[in-house]
């Protein structure tokens, strides 16, 4: 009997720990079923690179991209370029460096009505209304409202380490990701022959981008999304990727 009590105390403890890792808006996410869930899943990929996913050509620099910024051309049309991989803009990982724009993040619109986000995407700053079809704008709005997470809770800003468990992450990685990335994460080189960057390199250098890709997949590719898993498992996969070789 005593053992049973200890066990249930342990299980409650575990549940509480787990609950503290999962943000409140996960409940909203859970409410989305069928078509809405599919649309949300697409929203995350569109946030990464909507024009690649939609096959739209953009070349000039976005009119709202600040002249002080160091980027130019099509990349300045990606949501992540102005608002960051951690969705925190100037208060996040893009608070300095070549991607600094001084633009706010999108965190304030987490859990807000997707309709309000739609209005922002069509405003004069963004002018996406004429470029992105209505259903894709809706997908983006669902992502902003219910898909984003506060990454600082799970990835240490200074060490860039995921709080996830690499052992459990390995089980998921070795059953899914290796099909394309290989066991060592080196099947795809994300940079060039001279300075190769593999999954291990990227996961350590930019864990925020890697977590986004784990959750949503990669635009313009066959890469799967792990959105059907909980955030905890996604963080475990990130932790495993951070153990992969960089060279
Ligand atoms: C070229 C830079 C740029 C790009 C690209 C961009 N935005 Fe913005 N965004 C801004 C600026 C500047 C603001 C600040 C307020 C304004 O004028 O709308 C903003 C504000 C926002 C806000 C409101 C944030 C707040 O707290 O007021 C949301 C939500 C948002 N953008 C979502 C997106 C999404 C989704 C995408 C991609 C489809 C995107 N943005 C692409 C520049 C950009
Ligand atoms: C069906 C093949 C496939 C599967 C399965 C797959 N990926 Fe990918 N992944 C790709 C392709 C293709 C790219 C994009 C390569 C490019 O365009 O540079 C990519 C890109 C990435 C990136 C972006 C790196 C960067 O800097 O651009 C990350 C991170 C990533 N994959 C992680 C994973 C993880 C983790 C898993 C397992 C959950 C996984 N992938 C499963 C094919 C796959």
Residue 12: the pLDDT is 56
Give residue 92 CA to ligand 1 midpoint distance, Å: 15
Q: How many domains does the chain have?
A: 2
Give residue 223 CA to ligand 2 midpoint distance, Å: 5
92 and 170, same domain (yes or no):
no
Q: Which of 148, 176, 198 is a domain's end point?
A: 148
Give residue 82 CA to ligand 1 midpoint distance, Å: 7
pLDDT digits (tens, 9 = 90+) for 104-113: 999 999 999 9
Give me the long-range contacts of 214-217 (CB less than 8 A, separation at least 24): 214/238, 214/241, 215/44, 215/147, 216/41, 216/44, 216/45, 216/47, 216/48, 216/147, 217/41, 217/44, 217/45
For 123, the domain range is 26-148
pLDDT digits (tens, 9 = 90+) for 25-82: 555 666 777 788 999 999 999 999 999 999 999 989 999 999 989 999 999 999 999 9
Regions in the chain scoring below 70 on pLDDT = 1-30
**Is there a domain that residue 15 lies in?**
no
Q: Which of 119, 148, 177 is a domain's end point?
A: 148
| Bridge partners, 104 (sequence order) | 89
Residue 32's SS3 state is coil
Work out the angle at residue 241's Cα, subtended by the Cα atoms of residues 191 and 17, and round it to the nearest 5 degrees.
Answer: 145
Q: Which of 148, 181, 200 is a domain's end point?
A: 148
CA nearest 65: which of 125, 144, 2, 150? 125
Residue 24: the pLDDT is 47
Atom of ligand 2 nearest to the CA of 179: 5
138 and 48, same domain (yes or no):
yes
Residue 68: the pLDDT is 85
pTM of the model: 0.91
How many other C-beta atoms can be found within 10 angstroms of the C-beta atom of residue 66? 13
**Is there a domain that residue 18 lies in?**
no
Q: Check: CB of residue 185 under 8 Å from CB of residue 213.
A: no
**Is there a domain that residue 124 lies in?**
yes
């Amino acid at each position: 009997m005593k053992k049973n009590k200890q066990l249930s105390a342990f299980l409650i403890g575990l549940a509480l720990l787990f609950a503290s890792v999962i943000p409140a808006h996960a409940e909203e996410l859970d409410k989305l079923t069928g078509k809405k869930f599919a649309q949300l899943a697409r929203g995350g990929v569109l946030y990464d690179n909507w024009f690649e996913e939609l096959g739209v050509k953009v070349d000039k620099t976005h009119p709202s991209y600040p002249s002080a910024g160091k980027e130019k051309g099509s990349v300045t049309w990606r949501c992540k370029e102005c608002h960051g991989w951690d969705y925190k803009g100037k208060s996040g990982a893009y608070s300095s460096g070549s991607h600094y724009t001084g633009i706010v993040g999108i965190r304030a619109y987490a859990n807000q009505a997707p309709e309000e986000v739609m209005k922002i995407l069509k405003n004069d700053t963004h002018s996406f209304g004429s470029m992105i079809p209505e259903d894709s704008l809706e997908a983006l709005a669902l992502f902003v409202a219910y898909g984003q997470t506060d990454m600082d809770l799970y990835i240490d800003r200074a060490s860039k380490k995921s709080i996830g468990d690499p052992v459990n992450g390995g089980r998921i990685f070795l059953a899914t990701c290796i099909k394309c990335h290989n066991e060592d994460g080196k099947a795809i080189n994300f940079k060039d022959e001279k300075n190769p960057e593999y999954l291990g390199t990227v996961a350590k250098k930019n864990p925020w981008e890697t977590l986004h890709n784990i959750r949503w997949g990669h635009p313009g590719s066959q890469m799967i999304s792990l959105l059907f898993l909980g955030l905890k498992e996604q963080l475990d996969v990130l932790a495993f990727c951070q153990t992969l070789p960089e060279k």
